[in-house]
């Protein structure tokens, strides 16, 4: 009897290499798309154009922009205050 199976070590190494390359490609796509979605949500949120923008009142949009910007400024100030008070 002769063993007609190909070298299993080489076959396994090639299969592992293909799997790792596919995982690398897919993980780059997922990371890039999630970063794009997050930045798009942040941009829409700060611009005040989330929700139904066709019926949006310009004063309401301006109020959302001002409120959300002040919220971010307050959050950054609070984080700086807490870092200076308890860390440094």
Task: Determine how many CB atoms are found less than 10 A away from the CB of residue 48.
Answer: 20
Return the percentage of the chain with pLDDT > 90, whole number. Answer: 32
Q: How many domains does the chain have?
A: 1
Domain extent at residue 54? 8-86
Distances 39 to 16, 35, 80 between C-alpha atoms, Å:
35, 6, 23
pTM greater than the 0.75 cutoff: no
Report yes or no on 1 lying in a domain: no
Residue 2 within any structural domain of the chain: no
Categorise residue 51: left if φ over 0, alpha if ψ from -120 to 50, beta otherwise. left
pLDDT one-digit tens code per residue, 15-26: 999 998 888 777
Residues 38-66 pLDDT 10s: 888 778 777 776 666 566 788 888 898 89
Tell me, yes or no, whether 66 lies in a domain. yes
Q: Which of 39, 49, 48, 38 is nearest to 71 (CA)?
A: 48
Q: Which residue has the higher pLDDT, 67 or 28?
A: 67
Q: Kindly tell me if the per-residue pLDDT of 4 is higher than 60.
A: no
């Amino acid at each position: 009897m002769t063993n007609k199976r190909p070298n299993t070590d080489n076959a396994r190494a090639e299969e592992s290499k293909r799997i790792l390359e596919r995982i690398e490609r897919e993980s780059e796509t997922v990371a890039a798309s999630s970063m794009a979605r997050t930045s798009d949500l942040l941009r829409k949120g700060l611009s005040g154009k989330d929700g139904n923008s066709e019926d949006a009142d310009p004063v309401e949009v301006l109020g959302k922009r001002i409120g959300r910007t002040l919220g971010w400024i307050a959050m950054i100030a609070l984080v700086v205050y807490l870092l200076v008070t308890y860390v440094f």
